[in-house]
Structure 1
Amino acid sequence: MDFRLSEEKDTAFLGKRWKDTAETVIIGGGCVGVSLAYHLAKAGMKDVVLLEKSELTAGSTWHAAGLTTYFHPGINLKKIHYYSIKLYESLEEETGQAVGFHQPGSVRIASTPARVDEFKYQMTRGRWHPNPQYYIEPEKVQELFPLLNMDKVLAGLHNPGDGHIDPYSLTMAFAAGARKYGAQLYFPAEVTDLIPQSNGSWNVVTHHGTIHAKRIVNATGFWAREVGKLIGFQHPLIPVHHQYVVTATVPEVKALKRELPVLRDLEGSYYLRQERDGLLFGPYESQEKMKLQDSWVTQGVPPGFGKELFESDLDRIMDHVEAAMDMVPVLKNADIINIVSGPITYSPDILPMVGPHQGVQNYWVAIGFGYGIIHAGGIGKFLSDWIMLGEPPFDLIELDPNRYGKWTTTQYTALKARESYGFNNIVGYPKEERFAGRPTERVSGVYEELKPKCSMGFHAGWEQPHWFYKPGDDIGYKPSFRRTNWFEPVGREYKQVMEKVGVIDLTPFGKFTIKGKDSVKLLDHLCANTIPKVGFTNISHMLTPRGRVYAELTVSQLSPGEFLLVTGSGSELHDLRWIEEVAVCGNYSVDISNVTDEVGVLGLAGPLARKVLQKLTPDDLSNTSFKFLQSRKISIDGIPVTAIRISYTGELGWELYHNRPDSSALYRALMQAGQEEGIDNFGTYAMNALRLEKGFRAWGAEMNCDTNPLEAGLEYFVKLNKPADFIGKEALKEVKEKGLHRKLVYLTLKTENVDPEGNETVWYNGKVVGNTTQEPTVTAPIKAWHLPMYLLNLVL
């Protein structure tokens, strides 16, 4: 039901209607929040309550341009876009509420050779998804959009079924559906406080009363920071001024017999669509010209701001207006009847934050949507499934709210949001790096020494060397869809580790300690592998209840009941949240600490690694004394170190864990000791090539929440016969009994100047049969593929 509430708390109306308890309280009545209410209620949740501060669609939804598209440059969000469009096609019939959905298709314009490469790159990645997408020649572009000036058009990317929808009507349809399935929507009902309870539930306080909720979901758009502050969070979000222009009737548009497709001129950085018999176009200004509403970050959102707009500024977007007039000449004579300038909310990397938040129980977020209309349907379904199932329905790690941490300052957020908005339509190269706001406070102890020698990459706030320069190298960041300046140097580093010895900075690893009387029990329940004995290490996987790979960890038992857990840099808080949740829900008596920022890590790898390291320590490092996967505390040149005999390169090596302030001294000692052996640096690009050639899997590539460990070839690390009832055990037994549908295999490719980058479509006899994972090695074109079982006998 929808309830418009009186401001008087003690009215008879509220006494009859106001709920005191709910399973889920959604805060925010924009398109995303109401979609979630609809999906949860439709999934069978009985007590769903949505609280809206003023009225539904207030904030950013009501003034949105309403664009919908199957296209997304990433992989996982294609699923979100696809679901949204299919839902919007049927929502009116389901709810009885018209949604104003137009589907004339869309055309993206390539007017430079780099854009043509980008379109071809996207075509290789798009075909293993159902989203319709076609690379088209200029003649077809003109046929689809006859009002174009074709002088600069080299190619197009066509998505049939794209279009636009009325955001207000869409939200009302979600509301009608939510009411139909039993959800209750209260407005105006501002949340004034959020009080966590000892059992993980919440008291949600409003002027009308308090609701006790099992979980809460923050879906409050540009109010998300204010709501987060109620529980001590500073969500890294900032409102951006976005403008679009609406024209009066354009005779040439009115004369057309069909609606124009949505046009995206990427070099001009604007979108353009038909609006009745006129046109609507919206630009994305450069980072120098765009405008942030940063006062809302420092001073808060004005209390009464809901369905208001900002003052328009046509001068700020004139470059884009002129570009649009050049590409679509009929605009030159069109009369502007409206300029809409409203707030949309950006995260630092432009992607929303979706899912449960680390650091507090049962607090979920669906915030930071710069493209909320196309995301609303799919995100509502994704979150609903996650809440109902207890695990994500598919991998969407790029939206994990826990990709940000304390290092994500207000200044960083503003700089990155400015960059992300200004780069909205830049060419999307593989291995893209963006440099605003860098470095953060997260720099390792060897950063200053390595910075002049290498090309740095950004990993969860950290700076980490990707590859190193030598005299004569073409240095710097030079992205391309073809082999570029890093290819030969990475091959050199690969050879260095294979033949001699190399040092790599691994400080960005996520690192946790777990100790306490239930530490073994907790890890035995979390991990599919057995728990290592004291002084030993193993590779373990945390599985979801359905038996999917939620995380991969290196687990070391340093002393009885004391463990060090290591994960990838991008998984730090993602994994920590899962561990903490299982510990709390199972009432395990443990102490969990995140030591990522305190502990530095250097890796030493190569056939001469033992010889170099032995010079610096009295401890016996021989193979009989210090075996593979052993861990122990040793002294290296007087520096206390926890040494683990393991290397992601697959070569002889150690990971050396130490106090972060000791990193520089430890690095210098290793480099000095290894001069005779020809020691040198290597970066993450070479490490990835080495691990792929060795057959080591990487979380996020060969395995993730879409993959079970048997598909990924991880049987060795899964102990189905161990006594402990680990998460996902029963589901995995069932998978094994029924048999696999697909399997990860390693194959070679013939390539010259263009290499696969990952997620390319695999074809067999004219049919899509699978996909690739990550880029090939630099010496042999080895590639990991997910293929159906029936093909394995043909390719192996």
Structure 2
Amino acid sequence: MKTHVKALIVGGGAIGTSIAYHLAKFGWDDVVLLERDELTSGSTWHAAGLLPLFNMSYAVTHIHDYSVKFYKTLEEETGLNAGFSVVGNLRMAQSDARMDEYRVYASTAETVGVPFEWLTPAQIKERWPLVNCDDLKGAIYHPTDGYINPADVTMAMARGARQRGVTIERKWQADAYHWTGEAWEVTLTKMVEKGGNLVPSEEQIVVTAEHVVTATGNHAQRTARLLGIKTPAIPVEHQFIVTEPDPALVEYRKAGNPEHPVLRDADAKWYVREERGGWILGPYELNAPARFEYGVPDSFRADLFPLDLERIEEEYMSMIHRIPSSETVGLKDDFNGPICYTPDGNPLVGPAPGLRNMWLAEGFSFGITAAGGTGHYMAQMMVEGEAEIDMASLDPKRFGSWITTEYSARKNEEAYSHVYVLHHPDEEREACRPLRTAPSYDRLKARGAQFGVVNGFERANYYGPVGAPADFDHDARSFRRGGWWEYAVDEAKAVREGVGLIDASAFTKHTVKGPGATAFLDWFTCNKLPKVGRINLTYALTPEGTTRTEYTIVRLGEDSYYLVSAGALTDYDGDYLRKCAEDKAPEFGYIAVEDVTTQWGVFAIAGPKSRDVLKEVVKDAEPETALSNKRFPWLSQRDIELGMCPVRAIRVAYTGELGWELHHPIEMQNYLFDLLEDAGKKHGMKLVGVRAQNWLRQEKSYRAFGNELGRDATPLEADLPRFVDQSKDFQGKDAMNALGVRVKCVTLLIDGPEDADPWGAEVLFDGDTRVGRLTSGGYSVAFGKSIGMGYVSPEKAEVGQKLKVRILGALWDAEVVEDSPYDPKNEVIRVDG
């Protein structure tokens, strides 16, 4: 056993072996992989080995696509057959809504280049006559994927890793991690067989590693405790059954017909594939329980749980309906094993919170599909600094430190049961809600607020009718313009024509203070720092020059700053900010970083009448001029008093109208809400949700982090040179300039369908050539048509460029327009009064 290594990978399943392989492929020649038992002895061994390319996530689609392509190369490189059966994947639909889901998904697939075909029920029946197509609307078919043998592909990657110099050690368990300030000291214990169990021996060694990767699967909770962090990765039971040979299938294959593709009846919540003349049925049923919330028992090795056939009876009967010949076949085998999940169903891939050189690859519910791509992009992050795609949506820190075991277990059960639930872009899941609420939650709810969740916080998406008829469905979802659409239109018009009030309390907020704060933030961000009492929009870059975080920086004093960023990724932003501040403190001086997100509530008031509302309640010696351009100019901050509430007011509006953000002590929120609501009545003030706000910000071409802004593009590619001060040195500057402008962010007005708008994942064409993709989409009340933002090749970014965008399967005309098509000169936002 080596005792000093470049990278130590803990976990010998498909994920761990792939990371080991790819680290070696990227040039690290001192890599060791550990497995506490035998390779593949975790969830890998009982996985069904399916390789579904279908995914709504841009990042995950890239990961799955890489895996499918990579697995096909392994035998040539290693000499081991990975057991890849390229039979295709047929995803069937029983409803028009399901076909809409497939059309929305197909846009994401098209942006990545994943091939697919559309099939009618008649075409399905012609190809696969054993399938009952009477109640189908159609299907989407992926010809390039299928299924693979999990053990074989893992062993092939392990051999490939060994051929590239990786050392693989079995029967060693990681029992302690200690960071020395320069490297990790990992205490390993030799595991031995005793009475059929695997138990620790007295033999221990300490391995020093520059980097550690944990890919511990079902043992993620134990790993988190050893590291002193929290993780939501908790397993859920997954059952699948194998039938005896089906005589009809046997005859079908004897006649020379090819193997059926993997069949997925999403509306019936199952997958089915052939297995030795019979069928494998894998359901995703309701009420599958979470397991091992506090760790895997030492006695549990390559074990299974008892089968619960009653729980999957509905899915079993629906398989018989879809494949009538299966009704008479018996059960041959069954599996019920733990599969790790996270609350949103996506894995945790990236740096661990608060730790240096500690990397997590945990929470994989589709681990075989994701293993190859995860290894590739994780190795890119570790070796090159960043992956070529934005991995923020999979970052472990997207779940904050507020999560608990109970929350994770219940949300993971929900995520499991939702694998085949319609994934509407406006989907909002109900488990564990409400949990994090601002004080005004009950008031907003009483006024019709329909909430979504961001980082656990309840946030109003829109305001439906109060006292609605009994048949009004607030929870109605659609891939087109849902029931909420008309209310969002009214809210957006209110901001453009009158005044609207938005609860923005979920914003992330940090203070940065101390003698080193100014020098640090000047290096940390790419724009000029504001003067005291002013604000600036700026970006923190990665060392590789791409956008890591967007900040509104408020300068409270010479060395005192208030930073506001996106609400979805509080711990993600805070972890990076703190780590960078710690690194630079020896150079710049002491820097204090504090997360004050839950200390400050925020109301955003915006619209032509917003100043009139605030004048009603502002307490000042000269209230008529307190909010004037002279005393309170655009892009400035003032401490004001609204009634009895002290407010840190910022003159900025994400909607592009005259407006203010009113940051206030959270304990005074209800008082301030009542004050503003009462003052706004005579001005017709309307409560506004984030969906309308999202449309409005696109009319101003305001980029959003996680959409237009991310770790796969620079601020220059986002077409934001006005926020980049090239006269100063800042982190990532040289790398940003070296990258140049590979793509460019544009705003487009779209002549789309009458009943739908883009969601922000659609592909853009110039003729038959794919030239880019949307990253945001919606409806513009200012222009009366659909709007979107996205990235295109630079030569297609000129104003007036005519393109096509695919919305729900059809191509629609789109035109590149000037940045900030609504009020391009920012006249209304700076209006005096």
TM-score scaled to structure 1, two decimals? 0.94
Corresponding position of 2:129 = 146
1:205–1:564: structure 2 CA closer, same or farther, 3 Å change rule?
Answer: farther
Letter in structure 1 aligned against 2:117: Y
The DSSP-based 3-state class of the residue aligned with 2:647 is strand
The DSSP-based 3-state class of the residue aligned with 2:240 is strand
Pick the aligned partner of 1:790 from 775, 786, 795: 795
Contact 2:176–2:226 (8 Å) recurs in 1: yes
Corresponding position of 2:562 = 564
1:142–1:648: structure 2 CA closer, same or farther, 3 Å change rule?
Answer: same
Distance (whole Å) between structure 1 residues aligned to residue 126 and residue 526 of structure 2: 57
Distance (whole Å) between structure 1 residues aligned to residue 55 and residue 7 of structure 2: 30
Matched, 1:542 2:511: no
1:622, distance to aligned residue in structure 2 (A)? 1.3
Contact 1:720–1:733 (8 Å) recurs in 2: no
Distance (whole Å) between structure 1 residues aligned to residue 466 and residue 336 of structure 2: 51
Pick the aligned partner of 2:498 from 486, 497, 500: 500
1:743, distance to aligned residue in structure 2 (A)? 4.1
Percent identical residues = 37
The DSSP-based 3-state class of the residue aligned with 2:749 is strand
Corresponding position of 1:445 = 439
Range with bigger deviation, 100-109 or 744-753? 744-753
Contact 1:112–1:154 (8 Å) recurs in 2: yes
1:109, distance to aligned residue in structure 2 (A)? 0.8
Letter in structure 1 aligned against 2:316: V
1:547, distance to aligned residue in structure 2 (A)? 2.1
- Deviation string for 1:675-720 (max 9, x for gaps)? 3222221111111111111221111222222222222221110111
1:745-784 to structure 2, matched below 5 A, reads 745-779=747-781, 780-781=784-785, 782-784=787-789
Corresponding position of 2:244 = 248
Distance (whole Å) between structure 2 residues aligned to residue 219 and residue 436 of structure 1: 27
Letter in structure 1 aligned against 2:485: F
1:317, distance to aligned residue in structure 2 (A)? 1.3
1:163, distance to aligned residue in structure 2 (A)? 0.9
Contact 1:202–1:215 (8 Å) recurs in 2: no
Contact 2:8–2:33 (8 Å) recurs in 1: yes
Corresponding position of 2:630 = 624
Corresponding position of 1:219 = 215
Contact 1:60–1:342 (8 Å) recurs in 2: yes
1:123, distance to aligned residue in structure 2 (A)? 2.6
Pick the aligned partner of 1:174 from 118, 133, 157: 157
Corresponding position of 2:166 = 183
Corresponding position of 2:97 = 114
Letter in structure 2 aligned against 1:431: D
Pick the aligned partner of 2:375 from 371, 380, 385: 380
Corresponding position of 1:10 = none
1:610–1:41: structure 2 CA closer, same or farther, 3 Å change rule?
Answer: same
1:616, distance to aligned residue in structure 2 (A)? 2.5
Letter in structure 1 aligned against 2:85: H
Matched, 1:461 2:450: no
1:152-551 to structure 2, matched below 5 A, reads 152-199=135-182, 201-206=184-189, 207-255=203-251, 256=253, 257=256, 258-286=258-286, 289-293=287-291, 296-298=292-294, 300-440=295-435, 442-452=436-446, 453-470=448-465, 474=472, 476-551=474-549
Letter in structure 1 aligned against 2:478: S
The DSSP-based 3-state class of the residue aligned with 2:310 is helix
Letter in structure 2 aligned against 1:91: L
Pick the aligned partner of 1:730 from 727, 734, 737: 734
The DSSP-based 3-state class of the residue aligned with 1:539 is strand
The DSSP-based 3-state class of the residue aligned with 1:699 is coil
Corresponding position of 2:616 = 615
Corresponding position of 1:744 = 746
Range with bigger deviation, 244-253 or 173-182? 244-253
Distance (whole Å) between structure 2 residues aligned to residue 351 and residue 733 of structure 1: 33
Corresponding position of 2:821 = none
1:617, distance to aligned residue in structure 2 (A)? 2.8
Distance (whole Å) between structure 2 residues aligned to residue 402 and residue 741 of structure 1: 28
Corresponding position of 2:717 = 711
The DSSP-based 3-state class of the residue aligned with 2:776 is coil
Pick the aligned partner of 2:655 from 646, 649, 652: 649
Matched, 1:48 2:31: yes
Distance (whole Å) between structure 1 residues aligned to residue 706 and residue 664 of structure 2: 27
Letter in structure 1 aligned against 2:789: A
1:456, distance to aligned residue in structure 2 (A)? 0.6
Letter in structure 1 aligned against 2:81: A
Letter in structure 1 aligned against 2:47: A
- Deviation string for 1:119-140 (max 9, x for gaps)? 2222333222211111211122
- Deviation string for 1:339-384 (max 9, x for gaps)? 1111111111211111112222222111111110000000011111
- Deviation string for 1:454-478 (max 9, x for gaps)? 1111001000111113358646121
Distance (whole Å) between structure 1 residues aligned to residue 111 and residue 751 of structure 2: 19
- Deviation string for 1:76-96 (max 9, x for gaps)? 211111100111000111112
Distance (whole Å) between structure 2 residues aligned to residue 154 and residue 134 of structure 1: 14
Corresponding position of 1:11 = none
1:148, distance to aligned residue in structure 2 (A)? 0.4
* Structure 1 gap ranges (5+): 1-17
The DSSP-based 3-state class of the residue aligned with 2:46 is coil
CA RMSD of the aligned region, Å? 1.8
1:26, distance to aligned residue in structure 2 (A)? 1.2
1:149, distance to aligned residue in structure 2 (A)? 1.2
Distance (whole Å) between structure 2 residues aligned to residue 144 and residue 63 of structure 1: 30
1:778, distance to aligned residue in structure 2 (A)? 4.1
1:244–1:740: structure 2 CA closer, same or farther, 3 Å change rule?
Answer: closer
Contact 1:411–1:437 (8 Å) recurs in 2: no
Range with bigger deviation, 761-770 or 456-465? 761-770
User: How many residue pairs get matched?
Assistant: 769
Range with bigger deviation, 98-107 or 783-792? 783-792
1:754, distance to aligned residue in structure 2 (A)? 1.5
Contact 1:487–1:778 (8 Å) recurs in 2: no
Contact 2:183–2:208 (8 Å) recurs in 1: no
1:306, distance to aligned residue in structure 2 (A)? 1.8
Contact 2:540–2:549 (8 Å) recurs in 1: yes
Distance (whole Å) between structure 2 residues aligned to residue 684 and residue 155 of structure 1: 34
Range with bigger deviation, 566-575 or 117-126? 117-126
Distance (whole Å) between structure 1 residues aligned to residue 634 and residue 440 of structure 2: 27
The DSSP-based 3-state class of the residue aligned with 2:69 is helix
1:608, distance to aligned residue in structure 2 (A)? 2.0
Distance (whole Å) between structure 2 residues aligned to residue 649 and residue 144 of structure 1: 52
The DSSP-based 3-state class of the residue aligned with 1:61 is helix
Matched, 1:689 2:684: no
The DSSP-based 3-state class of the residue aligned with 2:511 is strand
1:634, distance to aligned residue in structure 2 (A)? 2.3
Range with bigger deviation, 457-466 or 116-125? 116-125
Corresponding position of 2:809 = none
Distance (whole Å) between structure 2 residues aligned to residue 766 and residue 785 of structure 1: 18
Distance (whole Å) between structure 2 residues aligned to residue 362 and residue 34 of structure 1: 19
Distance (whole Å) between structure 2 residues aligned to residue 57 and residue 625 of structure 1: 67
The DSSP-based 3-state class of the residue aligned with 1:72 is coil
1:661, distance to aligned residue in structure 2 (A)? 1.0
1:408–1:145: structure 2 CA closer, same or farther, 3 Å change rule?
Answer: farther
Corresponding position of 2:44 = 61
Distance (whole Å) between structure 2 residues aligned to residue 307 and residue 469 of structure 1: 51
Letter in structure 2 aligned against 1:451: K
